[in-house]
Structure 1
């Protein structure tokens, strides 16, 4: 055996030992997870990809034949790829959009609050319906940040939803109280964005 092959054998042995330890840790964590219920996930942060991640979970749920409800706050004035796909290809998905566009476009606080209230009633109904396996509240955090919706009402609806129902909330911020009631909180970090370099939003990628 050459010195080089002997060193390769030692590397392989170290790698195997390291992977065995890692597998043991993962298996132990899996074994410790005993609770079976729906989960609440918050996707927040300044980076791109929060809504995209949420719609990835929509696809995952649909793959198992689960019933899905999607409510989009803020968005809805400009057509998006996910809207086209869900309306044309996924009639089983309940999709409701506030439809006013971004708040910096409307510049009308009273109208935005009224639209948010109408939209929240749709979301609240889904959060009370055990037929929905997954509910996505896209950009809900802005409604809390701008105080368009009552925070306690929103948090109570999240906490009292059916036990088997999972929930995904997206958007920047939202406050610590929202984070506290969620099971999983992931922050998308903004490192670099093409738009800041003058690159136009791309159909199929950005909308």
Structure 2
């Protein structure tokens, strides 16, 4: 064995020991609250990836889309026929296109009632609240009501919240926060969103 191989082996043994120790310390088993936020691309895509994972194990999943529901969504199209997936869509599209606060608020409240039903169902393993951060930012939903529903959900249920500018109170109660950081985005250079890649 060369010196380089020996150093590598010692480093990997040390890393394994550290990882094994962390795994042994993680003894709590429960659902989690994950927040995917930030200005970068990929928040919704990451959430759909987790949806795919949960469905792959046969768990029931609910996805509530607050903004992009009227857009094509390749992940939704691929998974929609899975009997364990339920999707609720706000159905008004982007709020900057509707430009009608009252109509958007009513549409938001309607789909939020579906979200509350999912958050109250112990048989739903994973709930995704896609782009709900905007509903809080624009005042369509009350943050206290949302937190009450999140805090009162079944203990085994995991929730993923996506969207930019996540409310600080959501961040305070989250178990995991992933911030997508934009380094460069093709749209800013004039490239159109691409079907099958961006949506």
Residue in 1 that maps onto 2:44: 51
Residue in 2 that maps onto 1:40: 33
Partners of 1:33 and 1:78 lie apart in 2 by 40
Deviation string, structure 1 residues 8-53 (Cα, Å, up to 9, x no partner): 8111111111111111111001000111111110000000000000
Work out whether residues 41 and 180 of structure 2, in 8 Å CA contact, stay in contact via their aligned partners in 1: yes
Aligned pairs for 1:57-76 within 5 A: 57-76=50-69
- 1:187 CA drift (Å): 0.2
Runs of 4+ in 1 over 4 A off after TM superposition: none
Segments of 5+ residues of structure 1 without an aligned counterpart are 1-7
Residue in 2 that maps onto 1:11: 4
Partners of 2:51 and 2:2 lie apart in 1 by 45
Deviation string, structure 1 residues 148-181 (Cα, Å, up to 9, x no partner): 1000000111111000011111000122100111
- 1:79 CA drift (Å): 2.1
Partners of 1:77 and 1:56 lie apart in 2 by 20
Segments of 5+ residues of structure 2 without an aligned counterpart are none
2:171 is the alignment partner of 1:179: yes
| Residue aligned with 2:124, SS | coil
Work out whether residues 73 and 137 of structure 1, in 8 Å CA contact, stay in contact via their aligned partners in 2: yes
- 1:83 CA drift (Å): 2.7
Residue in 1 that maps onto 2:146: 154
Residue in 2 that maps onto 1:4: none
Across the aligned residues of Structure 1 and Structure 2, the Cα RMSD in angstroms comes to 1.1
Partners of 2:118 and 2:93 lie apart in 1 by 22
Work out whether residues 136 and 168 of structure 1, in 8 Å CA contact, stay in contact via their aligned partners in 2: yes
Work out whether residues 86 and 95 of structure 1, in 8 Å CA contact, stay in contact via their aligned partners in 2: no
Task: Give the greater-gyration-radius structure (CA).
Answer: 1
Work out whether residues 42 and 186 of structure 1, in 8 Å CA contact, stay in contact via their aligned partners in 2: yes
Partners of 1:66 and 1:42 lie apart in 2 by 20
TM-score by length of 2: 0.97
| Residue aligned with 1:192, SS | coil
- 1:82 CA drift (Å): 2.2
Deviation string, structure 1 residues 40-85 (Cα, Å, up to 9, x no partner): 1000000000000000001100111000000000112222212322
